[in-house]
Structure 1
C-alpha cells in the first residue's frame, strides 16, 4: 500500500448517512455493529465507503458471534484472515465470507466499498441447524472455512437486505429479520452439507494398492482386462477400487488402462519391427482399426504416420 494510506484500527469516517426507518445500522467502526446484540437475534449492519483513497482497518474479532460478510458491489482490497491474505485484488459483488468468533481480520481498501455484515449468535446457529436437520447439534457450531463463497441464493438475499427500508419501522424489522434468518440458514446448510459430502467422498488409494494395480495392468496389457480383475489384484471390490483409483489418479481405471496400452504401443512401434496389427494385438486391442482410432485420439496421428515421423527425427 502507498504511504498516503489512512490507518484506522477499527474506524472509518467516510460512511454514508443512515436511511430513514432502516432496520440496518451503519457501521462507524468496521465490523462493529452499533446496536447491541440479543442472543436470539441477528444484527445487520452496513459498511459503506463512497471514496476511493486507500484505507486500512482492523478488527480483533467478535468474542461470541460469527460475522457473515456479503459484498454488495465490486471492490478492490486486500483482506487478511488471522494474518494470512485471503483476498488480493477485486472482489465481485455477491461474494460472501464467514468469520468465526475470536478471529482477527483486517482489510486494506483501494476503492469504494459496500458490505453487509450479519452478526450471528450461537443460539441462532443452533436453532437454524435444528430446524434444517431435525436434530440438535452436539456442542457449539463453528463455521471455520473463511474462503469466499459465490452462491446465487445468498447473492439475492443480500440484495434484498440492501434495499430493505420502510416508513413502518416494525414492518421493516420483520422483513430484515426474516431475510437475515434465511441467509444464516443457507450458510449453515452449505457448511454442513459440504462437510458431509467430503466425509462421504472416497479416500485416496493407498500407495501400495496403487502399485499393485499398476503392476497388474503392465503385466497383462496384451490380455482382456476387466475392472474386477484390477480391483481383485488390490484386494478391493470394484466399486471401492474405482472410486479410490479415480480420487488418486484423476482417471477412471479404464482410461488409465487405455493410456498404458497406447504408451506401450508407442514403445513397440519405436523399438521393434512388428507391423501395426501385431503391435495392436500385443497391446490388447482386438483389431487394427480400433487401435488406430484410439491411438489417433490420444496421440494425434495414426500409428504408421507417428512411427515414420519419430524415426525420421531420431
Structure 2
C-alpha cells in the first residue's frame, strides 16, 4: 500500500524476546520504542534485530519485506542459561542493522521444515532452537565462555536409553525434549552431554541410524523407495533421497542397483557439525 496509508502496528507484549533476521533487503520502515522514533530507513539482507517484548514497540512497514521472527520466551531462555551454567541474561546488546550470517543461515535451515507433516521435524526444530540460543547468548548476551567447555557426560544407562528410545521411534520421529525426559534431563543438558559422550549430536546420530536402516531395507529389495523412506522416518521419497545422497554421494536407487550388498555407512555428519 502507499506509505502514507501504512498502519502503525503495536507489537503485542510478551515475557519474551523477539529475534528478527532479514532474508532479503528491507527498503524502508519505522520503529518506535516507548513512543520515541528509534529507526527510520531500511535493513540489509542478514540484518538482525533483538527486542525485549515487555517494552513498548511499534512499527510501520513502508515497503515489502521478507524475514523470519523467532520468539524466545523468558522461561525458555532462563532454562537454557541455567542448564548451560551461565548467568541469567537481562538484555541483549545488538547494534541496529547488525549483520549476522549465523542467524540468517539458521533461518534458512528452518524454512524447508515449515509446513511439513506434524511431528516429523521436531528433532530438527529442537536443534535449531538450541543453536540459536547458544549463539545469541554468546554474541549478544555476553555469556561467559566457560559453559562451552563443560564436559558433563551421560551415565551409561542414559546413553543406552536415549539411543533405544530414538530407535523405537525411528519411523515417526521424536522431539529432543522427549528424549531428554527419558533420561531425566533438560533438553539443553541432554544435548550437550550426548555430544560429550558420543562425539556427535543426537540429531546426527539419529540420521546415521536412519541411513543404516535404509541400507538394510534397500539391500533386501522387498519395498519401494517410498515405503523405505517412511519406515526410516523421512517425510517422503524426495527428502529421503536428499539425505541419502548427502551421506553416500549417490541416490538410493543407484546405490541399490550397484552396491546392494554393502552396508558400509559413510561417517560424514548431516547436517554439518559446528565447531
* TM-score (structure 1 length as normaliser): 0.40
Larger Rg: 1
